[in-house]
Amino acid sequence: MQENGQKNFCDYTKFGNYLYDNKIVRLILFIFDLSTSFLILFRKKKLPNKIEKILILKVDHIGDLLIATPAIKRLKEENPSSQIDIVVSPWAKQIVIDNPFIDNIYTLRHFIHNRHEKSFIKKIYYFIYDYLRLVFKLRKNKYDLVLVFKEYLGSIITIGRFINAGYVIGHSTSGGRFFLDKIVQWDPLKHEAEHQFEILEPLGIRYEKEKLGYYLNFKEDDYKKVENELIKYNLKENEFIIIHPGSGDKRRVVNRSVWLKVIEENQLPIVITGIRREEYLINEIINNTPYKDRIIKLVDVFTIKQMAIFISKAKHLYTVESLIMHLSSFSNTPTTIFWKLKKTINATHQWGPLNKKELEIIRLED
């Protein structure tokens, strides 16, 4: 991997036990942990002798869930007879639909990750509504083990206790440490995919980072769809460039001048992809380049799995820090990521595409 520009490693240890640099947030989490410290009296000391039902809590964005798929696959391989259920965001559910390693999928609209509602009050309302409904439903399943793959402000970690699970494992880096039976260590030097494996360590599950890969259950129809689009636009494999300028987080979107330069420097046909809410970005790029005649706009054409296949057919992918950069890991297509600086959470060693070799990261100032 080649990386240009300033490194952005965040030493989380200077923030105490919490992965937040905001002092007020850390204080709130400290008070929350202090007020629930009595729960240590109810902490179980060992795993159940027999684990028949496992629940994974992974409620965040689409790319975050994709990053967790290597650990989910490994968990099922080590526990082939166990029922493995998962709680995810409804907008990320498509990542695990048809996943053979998961038995049941439940959804929770978390207020932190809800980009579909503008009103914060509505976000809180939907979260509380989903949370209560979910706890009532999951209590009936009598889980032997709950794995908290990702926690946010002590809001997810509580589910394990409230559904009366046999044992709960997770990190204590986002509050709620006393809701856990087993606290595992967070290593800031690891890739985000490896943090899921930290949760699996108490189960005796080991891994080799170099052999890890994301998982999607590709179907024959996915390949046919991509092939039809290639024929429709007369695109030949390895003879076109993909630009994907959008991201669910608008703070990661770069200036259109970056894309105009990419178009100018590449003589091959340019395919600009995105979803409907990103179309304004694509139109801005097309309207400001003199090379319109070799640009193809594909908006809401592919599913996530189909997009991964489409990337594999391209000569090069240019994108930003988003789900799309992770989809490049399914192929050898050279990829350039324009990565904007932020103070804490987007260190490239943690969030970059997993085991992607043909990769260039270009750092841009905010």
The pLDDT of residue 9 is 44
- Report yes or no: 321 and 337 within 8 Å, Cβ to Cβ: yes
Distance (Å, whole) CA 37 – CA 302: 48
Q: Are residues 345 and 196 in the same domain?
A: no
3-state helix, strand, coil in the chain (%, to 5): 40, 15, 45
Q: Are residues 235 and 352 in the same domain?
A: yes
Decide if 330 is inside a domain: yes
Residue type, 203: L
pLDDT band for position 15 (cuts 50, 70, 90): very low
The per-residue pLDDT for range 297-335, each reduced to its tens digit, is 999 999 999 999 999 999 999 999 999 999 999 999 999
Q: Are residues 182 and 269 in the same domain?
A: no
The pLDDT of residue 4 is 59
- Burial class of residue 41 in the structure, from the number of CB atoms within 10 Å of its CB (0-12 exposed, 13-18 middle, 19+ buried): exposed
Distance (Å, whole) CA 84 – CA 129: 24
Q: Are residues 206 and 305 in the same domain?
A: no
- Burial class of residue 221 in the structure, from the number of CB atoms within 10 Å of its CB (0-12 exposed, 13-18 middle, 19+ buried): exposed
Decide if 4 is inside a domain: no
Domain count, the chain: 2
Domain region containing 118 = 36-211
Decide if 87 is inside a domain: yes
Report the CATH number that the domain containing residue 160 is assigned in CATH: 3.40.50.2000
The pLDDT of residue 74 is 97
Q: Are residues 40 and 129 in the same domain?
A: yes
Sheet containing 145-148: give its strands across.
Answer: 104-107, 83-88, 53-57, 145-148, 168-170, 182-183
Structure tokens at 215: 């998982």
Decide if 8 is inside a domain: no
Q: Are residues 110 and 184 in the same domain?
A: yes
Q: Are residues 230 and 272 in the same domain?
A: yes
Higher pLDDT, 81 or 11: 81
Residue where one domain finishes, among candidates 184, 211, 238: 211
Residue type, 309: I
Give one DSSP letter per residue of 79-123, joined into a string. Answer: -TTSEEEEEE-GGGGGGTTT-TT-SEEEE---TTT--S-S-HHHH
- Report yes or no: 96 and 65 within 8 Å, Cβ to Cβ: yes
Strand (E) or helix (H) holding 244: strand 241-244
Decide if 6 is inside a domain: no
Q: Are residues 199 and 313 in the same domain?
A: no
Residue where one domain finishes, among candidates 162, 178, 211: 211
Q: Are residues 229 and 108 in the same domain?
A: no
Give the relative orientation of helices 220-232 and 304-312 as an angle to the nearest 10 degrees: 60
The pLDDT of residue 366 is 63
- Work out whether strand 104-107 and strand 145-148 pair parallel, antiparallel, or are unpaired: unpaired
The per-residue pLDDT for range 88-122, each reduced to its tens digit, is 999 999 999 999 999 999 999 998 888 777 788 99
Residue where one domain finishes, among candidates 183, 211, 239: 211
- Report yes or no: 76 and 84 within 8 Å, Cβ to Cβ: yes
Q: Taking the model in full, what pTM does it have?
A: 0.91
Q: Are residues 92 and 170 in the same domain?
A: yes
Q: Tell me the backbone φ, ψ of residue 135, rounded to 5 degrees.
A: -60, -45
Q: Tell me the backbone φ, ψ of residue 241, rounded to 5 degrees.
A: -110, 140
Decide if 184 is inside a domain: yes
Q: Are residues 154 and 190 in the same domain?
A: yes
Decide if 137 is inside a domain: yes
Decide if 13 is inside a domain: no
The per-residue pLDDT for range 184-241, each reduced to its tens digit, is 999 988 999 999 999 999 999 999 999 999 999 999 999 999 999 999 999 999 999 9
Q: Are residues 251 and 282 in the same domain?
A: yes
